[in-house]
Chain A
Amino acid sequence: MLKIEDLRVSYGGIEAVKGISFTVEEGQIVTLIGANGAGKSTTLRTVVGLVKAAGGSITYNDEQLIGLSTDQIVKKGITLVPEGRRVFPDLTVLENLKIGAYTRNDDLTEDLEWIYSLFPRLKERHWQRAGTLSGGEQQMLAVGRALMSRPKLLMMDEPSLGLAPLIVQDIFSIIQEINRQGVTILLIEQNANMALRIAEVGHVLETGRITLSGAGKDLLSNEAVRAAYLGKSK
């Protein structure tokens, strides 16, 4: 579905992503894990066209994405839940969800029902300004808003960041639920433990390169990964 080949991205002379390649198959949950500055966010931001690639290729169903603008890419069915949630704080929950459906012109009733069934809290608070929600609720709203565009590929940038452990569990089980309903997921996380548990495939990024790839479960038990990201060195 999504194929990244030899992707390179630079910021003002510094190469943040140094030639990475991986694929995401339809229906999978794929995760990229790695420390701060490894190039995870940059990779996702390049896929949606917020950052320009310096080289390589990104194809989505055999269509080249590099060179397209973000709105064109979103219209193809790819969306990104940005780091830090970035909900529109002055707009209500409902308005935020409606903006998520900006690319669509059909009836939204069914989708709103769907989002509300995934996140009942959003239904209770649909009239509230998004800025008054708690961090976890804002994350739910950010995910719900992204789903309103009916994406085929949903990318998430650190959805667990700054959330209490219980809420993190909620979010991850909802991610699995969304995946079961047919949305392919590309997830980046520092919470490697949680991410690898739900992912079919994981890739470890270190300073702009993929150093290790494998099934989520295998990576969970991999010594090097455990030492570096799970804090369980021998």
Chain B
Amino acid sequence: MFTFTLPELLQQMANGLTVGCLYALVAIGYTMVYGILRLINFAHCDIFMMSMYFCFYSISVFSLPWPVALLLVVVATALLGVLIEKAAYRPLREAPRISLLISAIGVSYLLENLATVLFTGVPRSFPAVGSLQKIVNLGDVRVQQLAIYAPVIMLLLLAALLYLINKTKTGMAMRAASKDFETARLMGINVNKTISVTFLVGSALAAVGAVIWGQKYSQIQPYVGVMPGLKCFIAAVIGGIGNIKGAVVGSLMLGMLEILMVWRFSALSGFKDAFAFIILIIILIFKPTGLFGETFVDKV
């Protein structure tokens, strides 16, 4: 059972890395929104799903060249995220947090059902983007090109995001607003605009994640976002929700563990999804704030 060759291990780790990077792109959106609104944005997984449909329509239906399509998808998804925030969360800014949560669940159902009406429930197959699905040989390891691009894309976007948050005025506004809306306003920060930017960025990252996801798991239907969404949320919690680096580390860990488990204990592969939840339960028992979680000082 524990005999395997090095290429096999590398092969699986490459898979795990890809999945981890995909999780990270979506998990960052959960963690950013939580950081600023203290809201678990249940609609995030459906923004991800809508993004996949946007991509399907622009490439498979309207036959746009993929770079144009990709740009459109990212822009459309980012705008969808901002729109959802404006329509469903902004009116509840002064309301108790539980109302916000219920609203998020409502938006999630709305998007899933809207997608069923608009796109029907018939599964579609996701279009190939560029040459991401091509197989390349790295020594004895055979992987999709995706396995090389996914980490590179993820790291580039992560670096850009960290720069935005730590080095720019917008980032300064985001950090201030995530601590204390009222004081942030007194500094002259437009909190609503800052929250919109947060949704814009989180949704754009989810769009990139969705396109790459589609290269690996190519079937889409209106509920396609639910399981990845839950996994990414779990990854964000593992890393310590509200912490961006935590979300990335949590995602890589979860992706890697999942793939390795399925590989070594193939008899249990049916329990792959349950495995993520087991990790979540363990984390919640032993380190409820996650690996890099802030020590919570509740907003006064």
The dominant DSSP class at the A interface is loop
Contact of B190 among A48, A71, A80 (CB under 8 A): A71
Contact of B297 among A48, A79, A89, A149 (CB under 8 A): A89
Contact of A71 with B188 at beta-carbon distance under 8 Å, contacts A82-B183, A88-B183, A102-B169 already known? yes
Per-residue A-contact encoding for B177-200, CB less than 8 Å = 1, 0 else: 001101101111111000000000
Per-residue B-contact encoding for A49-80, CB less than 8 Å = 1, 0 else: 11000000000000000000111001100011
Is A198 among interface residues, defined by CB-CB distance under 8 A? Answer: no
Is B252 among interface residues, defined by CB-CB distance under 8 A? Answer: no
Q: Is A86 in contact with B183, judged by CB distance below 8 angstroms?
A: yes
Is B50 among interface residues, defined by CB-CB distance under 8 A? Answer: no
Q: Is A90 in contact with B187, judged by CB distance below 8 angstroms?
A: no
Q: Is A86 in contact with B188, judged by CB distance below 8 angstroms?
A: no
Q: Is B182 in contact with A50, judged by CB distance below 8 angstroms?
A: yes
Q: Is B173 in contact with A102, judged by CB distance below 8 angstroms?
A: yes
Chain A residues with Cβ below 8 Å from B176 are 88, 99, 102
Chain A: minimal CB distance from B165 (Å): 13
Chain B residue at smallest Cβ distance from A100: B187
Q: Is B187 in contact with A149, judged by CB distance below 8 angstroms?
A: yes
Is B175 among interface residues, defined by CB-CB distance under 8 A? Answer: yes
Is B172 among interface residues, defined by CB-CB distance under 8 A? Answer: yes
Chain A: minimal CB distance from B300 (Å): 8
Chain B: minimal CB distance from A75 (Å): 6
Is A3 among interface residues, defined by CB-CB distance under 8 A? Answer: no
Q: How far, in whole Å, are A215 and B47 apart by their CA atoms in the complex?
A: 61
Q: Is B182 in contact with A75, judged by CB distance below 8 angstroms?
A: no
Chain A residues with Cβ below 8 Å from B188 are 70-71, 74-75, 102-103, 149
A-B pair count, CB < 8 Å, reads 56
Contact of A74 with B172 at beta-carbon distance under 8 Å, contacts A88-B179, A89-B297, A90-B179 already known? no
Chain B: minimal CB distance from A100 (Å): 6
Per-residue A-contact encoding for B94-135, CB less than 8 Å = 1, 0 else: 000000000000000000000000000000000000000000
Q: How far, in whole Å, are A86 and B190 apart by their CA atoms in the complex?
A: 18
Q: How far, in whole Å, are A79 and B183 apart by their CA atoms in the complex?
A: 11
Is A123 among interface residues, defined by CB-CB distance under 8 A? Answer: no
Chain A residues with Cβ below 8 Å from B172 are 98-99, 102
Chain B: minimal CB distance from A97 (Å): 11
Chain A: minimal CB distance from B152 (Å): 32
Q: How large is the interface on A (under 10, 10 to 19, 20 to 34, 35 or more residues)?
A: 20 to 34
Chain B residue at smallest Cβ distance from A76: B188
Count residues on chain B whose CB falls below 8 Å from chain A CBs. Answer: 17
Interface members, chain B 66-113 (any A CB < 8 Å): none
Chain B residues with Cβ below 8 Å from A168 are none
Q: Is B180 in contact with A74, judged by CB distance below 8 angstroms?
A: no
Q: How far, in whole Å, are A100 and B188 apart by their CA atoms in the complex?
A: 8
Q: How far, in whole Å, are A145 and B183 apart by their CA atoms in the complex?
A: 11
Q: Is B175 in contact with A91, judged by CB distance below 8 angstroms?
A: yes
Contact of B187 among A49, A50, A89, A102 (CB under 8 A): A102
Q: Is A88 in contact with B180, judged by CB distance below 8 angstroms?
A: yes
Chain B: minimal CB distance from A8 (Å): 20
Chain B residues with Cβ below 8 Å from A80 are 186
Q: How far, in whole Å, are A99 and B175 apart by their CA atoms in the complex?
A: 10
Chain B residues with Cβ below 8 Å from A102 are 169, 172-173, 176, 187-189
Give chain B's interface residues, CB within 8 Å of chain A: 169, 172-173, 175-176, 179-180, 182-183, 185-191, 297
Q: Kindly list 13 other residue pairs between chains A and B, CB separation below 8 angstroms, not including A48-B186, A74-B188.
A: A50-B186, A71-B190, A75-B188, A79-B186, A82-B183, A82-B186, A86-B183, A88-B176, A91-B175, A98-B172, A100-B187, A145-B187, A149-B187
A-B contact pairs, 16 of them (CB 8 A): A50-B182, A50-B185, A50-B186, A69-B185, A70-B185, A70-B186, A74-B185, A86-B180, A88-B180, A89-B179, A90-B179, A99-B172, A99-B176, A100-B187, A146-B186, A149-B188
